[in-house]
Amino acid sequence: MIRILTLAATAVLMAAPASAQSLRVSTAGKTPAQLHIDITKAARTVCNLATLGATFPREMYAACYKAAVDNAVTQAADPALTAVAAIKLAQR
């Protein structure tokens, strides 16, 4: 299994591509539920930084957060993590 995931706010969400943010999330010894919590925390941090000073911060934050979590779950390629993410999304 991948030991570290990287969450990144894509340049599409930023006016300046050089401002893209990323954060690493360790996967070692974590259950899929714990990993999903860490991914969402990292996504919040990355997207808060990525949307500072944005014209439409709420909309950009929501798009950034969804993309960051989706990309991290896809990057992990773990069916159990994908299932946890789907359950969390359905609960919203």
Spatial distance between the Cα atoms of 92 and 88, rounded to a whole number of angstroms: 7
Q: Which pLDDT tens digit goes with each residue over 76-85? A: 888 999 999 8
What pTM did the predictor assign? Answer: 0.75
**Total count of domains within the chain:** 1
**How confident is the model over 2-19, as a mean pLDDT?**
48
| Range in 12-21, 46-55, 63-72, 77-86 the model is least confident about | 12-21
Q: Cα 30 to chain center, whole Å? A: 17
> What range defines the domain where residue 34 resides?
4-91
